[in-house]
Structure 1
Amino acid sequence: MDWLKDDERLDYLLAENLRIIQSPTVFSFSLDAVLLARFAYVPIQKGQVLDLCSGNGVIPLLLSGRTRANVTGVEIQERLYNMAVRSILLNGLDDQIQMIHGDLKEMPSILGHAVYDVITCNPPYFQTLSKEVQNQNYYFALARHEITCTLEDVISVSAKLVKPGGKVALVHRPARLMDILMLLRHYKLEPKRLRFVYPKEGKEANMILVEGMKDANPDLKILPPLYIYTNENEYTEEVRELLYGKQ
């Protein structure tokens, strides 16, 4: 099989010793995807896990190293969907991971309600009303801006798809924290865990990791902060372990 097309390359997901197909002009995963895949609760032996806005399949691939459950990814961009499918086949994980090419807003009618134990999503971060401020690269624009789905779309759809007692985990920007918490509670996904991610000590948080539970009682836990870099601009010990595994 011809694994690579155009300007694509093969990279390692180092902690899992997996390979992933990436493209600098279409999509390459970033640290936020790794952090979400490590933050999310997943059942160890069995269950149903769903990843929305899957891109090139990085989060399903990462989750496969933590669980034997079935993992499904949903991606609206055909090129990224195709990259994800090839990466899954390349790693011999097609018995565990499947990809769906489609709009996440249509998933409740396709997949059903209250089906999944865990849902993850690394959604578009930016609210953009003007095309002038959207990224000029169409692939990047769809991945980064709320063009095909909004934050409310992600949360409302997740609330339909997840089982009672199931969990929904998101990575996002701190500027949207209040929107996220309000929408989670509105759609009966009670916020249960929240972690702030900082570039380094003394800097403002630039990412948040949030988990909600369907039909749960209020009990939000604020987890210890996660620092990405030391003052020497090297990865902290925790981040090195997340990326490369225990050395």
Structure 2
Amino acid sequence: MVQLVEDERLDYLLAENLRIIQSPSVFSFSLDAVLLARFAYVPIQKGAILDLCTGNGIIPLLLSTRTKGTITGVEIQERLANMAQRSFAYNNLDDRLKVLHQDIKEIPAMLGHGKFDVVTCNPPYFLVPEKEEKINANIHYAIARHEIHCTLEDVVRVSSQMVKQGGKAAFVHRPGRFLDIVTLMRKYRLEPKRIQFVHSRVDKPANTLLIEGIKDGNPDMKILPPLIVYDEKGEYSPEVRNMLYGENE
């Protein structure tokens, strides 16, 4: 059994046959997390994976079905970190999955550099606006969406510090920050190797960017075919249906 607090609910991750604790007033994961969890490379049999800005632990849960390695999430918000840990325990995964209630900027000094084979991160997408009223009044959502506690540079720098030589780091972000993220990855020795743009519909501009780099890798970037979320009927495309529900047709 799991202890739910206030307005929490226990949702299904259908494709993975897992459950996750969510709360509409604190945090609910988005498709972006699912896209990153499917895009990122993970070692199958063993290895150590770090997920920065883990929220309620959605990416570690999704990755747990693709690897037998250990996965550590890092989350600055105590409520979310607690939700993640309870979800890990409910799914009997707390022997491989754990969460640290920490600021990601403290992790290199805390755990040491170069400890992980893979680092993933679904970071806050938006700069902090000059006018405070433009930030969500719900502090949980504000922290998740805006660079209040960590910037894109913080995310890339810490990822580079934590990943092993030759290890991989994968991020999801907005295409508008494409040049920023590529510039920062190269600054911190994460050579971009794979990029995929995600479009809501085939005739719409990309609204999501997936990118993976290798620590001190050789320059050779591959742009993967675009991923389309909705078909012409407004329904999930086969690729996305498979990600969400495990449907292959």
Q: Same fold by TM (over 0.5)?
A: yes
- TM-score of the two chains, using structure 2 as the length reference: 0.98
Report the equivalent of 1:113. Answer: 113
Q: What's 1:37 paired with?
A: 37
Give the equivalent residue in structure 2 for 1:18.
18
* CA 2–14 in structure 1, closer or farther in 2 if over 3 Å, else same: closer
In structure 2, runs of 5+ residues without a counterpart are none
Post-superposition Cα deviations, 1:101-122, rounded to whole Å, max 9, x if no partner, equal 0000000001110110000000
| Pairwise CA RMSD | 0.8
1:78 and 2:81 matched: no
| Number of equivalenced pairs | 247
Deviation at 1:2, TM superposition (A): 5.0
Corresponding position of 2:224: 223
- Residue 149 (structure 1) aligns with: 150
Q: Is the 8 A contact 2:2 2:86 kept in 1?
A: no
TM-score, scaled relative to structure 1: 0.99
Paired amino acid for 1:78: E
Note the residue ranges of structure 1 that are not aligned, 5 or more in a row.
Answer: none
Q: Secondary structure at the match of 1:206?
A: strand
Q: CA deviation at 1:246?
A: 3.8
**SS of aligned partner of 2:206:** coil
> 1:190 maps to which residue?
191
Alignment of 1:1-247 (within 5 A): 2-130=2-130, 131-247=132-248
Structure 1 outlier segments of 4+, above 6 Å:
none
Amino acid at match of 2:102: G
Deviates more, 1:226-235 or 1:121-130: 121-130
Measure how far apart 1:129 and its partner are.
Answer: 3.4
Give the AA of the match of 1:187. Y
Q: Amino acid of the residue matched to residue 102 of structure 1? A: Q
1:72-109 CA distance string (max 9 Å, x none): 00000000001001100100000110110000000000
Give the Å deviation of 1:158: 0.6
| Percent identity for Structure 1 against Structure 2 | 64
Shift of 1:244: 1.3
**Counterpart amino acid of 1:61?**
L
The separation in 1 between residues aligned to 2:102 and 2:129, in whole angstroms, is 23
SS of corresponding position for 1:68: coil
